[in-house]
Amino acid sequence: MSKATMTREKTNFPDTLIIVAAVVLLVAILTWIIPSGSYDYQDMDINGRIRSVAIDGTYHVIDKSEVTTTGFLGFFASLYRGCVDAADIIFVILCCCGTFGVLVKTGAFHSGIGILLKRLGKRGLLMVPILMAVFGLGGSIFGMASEFYGFYPLIIGLGIAMGYDAMFGFAVIACGEFFGFMGATMNPYTVGIAQNIAGLELYSGTGFRAVCFVCFELLAMIYILVYAKKIEKDPRKSLLYGEASIHSFSEGALDEYRFDVSDMLVIADMVVTLVVLMLGLMKWGWDYPELCGLFLIMSMVAGVIKKWSPNKWCAEFIDSAKTVMWGCILTGVAKAIVVVMKDASIMDTVIFSLSNLLRHAPGALSAQLMLLVQTLINFFIPSGSGQAVATMPIMAQLSDMIGVSRQTAVLAYQFGDGLSNIFWPTADIVIICGIGGIKLEKWYKWFTPLFLMTFLLQMVLVEIAVLIGY
């Protein structure tokens, strides 16, 4: 073995599972150090749903004897409990990937994409802004995130078919939807809840948030297109050069298919399903159970259209679902971080400490610190609606004290929640990396410069909001 090979083996980055487990261990240690405490909560009707909302000024310390700090066995037990707590999202991942795996294996998408790429020719990169706009609007208007999980294998495969790499396709959908989620215009799960709690008119200030949405999406598009051009000039510039993707289309697959009537029906099946899903989410209060049910029906209908036997459908569904088993385990382990924090009651302590930092901050820095605080809190409370009900009652009161409008406080919250969803290992990035077969360390290497640029853009937009009295 050469010295160069030995060096490479010694400097190999730890597996993503080890990284996330290390974070769980760190938080477990912190449960012995960070004081336990809690706010009092009250039930409120927010947009037709009863939610427990923190009451500002009610934080109190809890004795460590009354909570569960995580010991040696507790650390390993929390990994199991995290998987149990994440059972709903794990099944969504399996269902989405199984379903869209079936749809991809019908060949309809290969045929459609092949024809589209042939027609676009060298203009194939035009698909980037189109796709990002679609996913971005879904996140910005409807608050769609997990609803797009099933598209990851397809868009990643498309990116590879276009001559780029898995990171390219992954970034198109990940940045598209989560930058849209961050630049939320009418997202009911973030803006809707936060404005309700802050006592603002529902969806007021949409114009400025629409400008923010466009700015974020444009920045991400430019970053992705620059990366694509680098790979186009030199494939070795790819961060995944030489690595196989679990979602690659077979070589020459796009030329083997012809777009016939059955392919059109499969595409129509998907479009109709997604329209029904959007209506259900917006009007009928649907959630994960209905999403999974619809997706299963969609994949079965696609099988019938292609004249598959029931056994073939089962085989293809299970084969597709197998590819994300690693991601499912990773999702459960990441959930253990939240389990450990809840056991020790340290979440509210973190919120209380960070809110005190804001109370004593210079006025000129208050809005920027509010953005930073919300970004940090998203590590501990990665749920958009969960973070809103836990922090906005406190931030709304604080904004009055420090001279920042409540509308700007909501803006800082949605920025902090949205961007770090694809950065903190406690949030969605672990889930979608698992689905996409992308190593977390590779994603950080690609995304960190964009994260920093976007955070700076957030600071500028927050400052503009302050200056114009938003």
pLDDT tens-place string over residues 324-378: 777 788 778 878 888 898 899 888 888 888 888 777 777 668 888 889 989 998 8
Percent of the chain with pLDDT over 90: 23
Q: Of how many residues is the chain composed? A: 470
Percent of the chain with pLDDT over 70: 88
Which of 14-18, 276-280, 385-389, 443-447 shows the lowest mean pLDDT across its residues?
14-18
Q: Is 437 left (phi over 0), alpha (psi -120 to 50) or beta?
A: left
Decide if pLDDT at 1 tops 70: no
Q: Which residues pair with 44 in a beta bridge?
A: 51
Q: For the purposes of burial, counting CB atoms within 10 Å of the CB of 199, is it exposed (0-12), middle (13-18) or buried (19 or more)?
A: exposed
pLDDT band at 7 (very low <50, low <70, confident <90, very high): very low
Among 212, 207, 206, 173, which Cα is nearest to 192's?
A: 206
What would the mean pLDDT of 157-170 be, rounded to a whole number? 86
What would the mean pLDDT of 208-231 be, rounded to a whole number? 95
Q: Output the CA–CA distances (angstroms, integers) from residue 80 to 340, 431, 450, in the order listed.
A: 12, 17, 34
What would the mean pLDDT of 189-207 be, rounded to a whole number? 84
The boundaries of the domain holding residue 120 are 88-467
Nearest 5°: CA angle at 242, between 239 and 248? Answer: 90
Q: Residue 457: its pLDDT value, please?
A: 97
Say if 243 falls within a structural domain. yes
Q: Residue 212: its pLDDT value, please?
A: 95
Q: Total domain count for the chain?
A: 1
Say if 392 falls within a structural domain. yes
Say if 66 falls within a structural domain. no
Residues 63, 37: contact at Cβ < 8 Å?
no
What would the mean pLDDT of 163-190 be, rounded to a whole number? 89
Using N-to-C axis directions, what is the helix angle for 310-322 and 288-305, rounded to 10°?
Answer: 130
More reliable by pLDDT, 14 or 53: 53
Q: Residue 124: its pLDDT value, please?
A: 66
Which of 107-116, 152-161, 191-200, 421-430 shows the lowest mean pLDDT across its residues?
107-116
Q: For the purposes of burial, counting CB atoms within 10 Å of the CB of 369, is it exposed (0-12), middle (13-18) or buried (19 or more)?
A: middle
Residues 35, 61: contact at Cβ < 8 Å?
yes
Winning range, highest mean pLDDT, from 20-29, 175-184, 199-208: 175-184
Report which residue type is found at 18: I
Q: Spell out the alpha helix ranges (H) of 124-205.
A: 127-142, 152-161, 166-182, 193-198
Residue 43's φ and ψ, nearest 5 degrees, are -80, 135
Q: Residue 174: its pLDDT value, please?
A: 93
Q: Residue 3: its pLDDT value, please?
A: 43
More reliable by pLDDT, 437 or 216: 216
Residue linked to tokens 């000039």 = 233
Among 277, 9, 303, 338, which Cα is nearest to 144's?
A: 277
Average pLDDT, the chain: 83
Q: Residue 283: its pLDDT value, please?
A: 76
Say if 67 falls within a structural domain. no
Q: Output the CA–CA distances (angstroms, integers) from residue 382 to 18, 156, 255, 375, in the order listed.
A: 20, 25, 43, 10
Say if 287 falls within a structural domain. yes
Residues 415, 462: contact at Cβ < 8 Å?
yes
Residues 272 and 297: their CA atoms lie apart, in Å, by: 12
Provide the 8-state DSSP code for 245: P
Winning range, highest mean pLDDT, from 32-41, 275-284, 444-453: 444-453
Say if 58 falls within a structural domain. no
Say if 423 falls within a structural domain. yes
Stretch (H or E) spanning 82: helix 72-85
Q: Residue 223: its pLDDT value, please?
A: 96
Say if 2 falls within a structural domain. no
Residues 102, 317: contact at Cβ < 8 Å?
yes
Residue 61's φ and ψ, nearest 5 degrees, are -80, 140
Winning range, highest mean pLDDT, from 95-109, 235-249, 331-345: 331-345
pLDDT band at 407 (very low <50, low <70, confident <90, very high): very high
Q: Which two tokens stand for residue 350?
A: 């973190």
Decide if pLDDT at 462 tops 70: yes
Q: What is the pLDDT of residues 67-99, one digit of tens each?
A: 888 889 989 999 889 888 888 878 877 887 788
Break the chain down into helix, strand, coil percent, rounded to 5. 75, 5, 20
Residue 194's φ and ψ, nearest 5 degrees, are -65, -45
Question: Is residue 376 classed as helix, strand or coil in its secondary structure?
Answer: helix
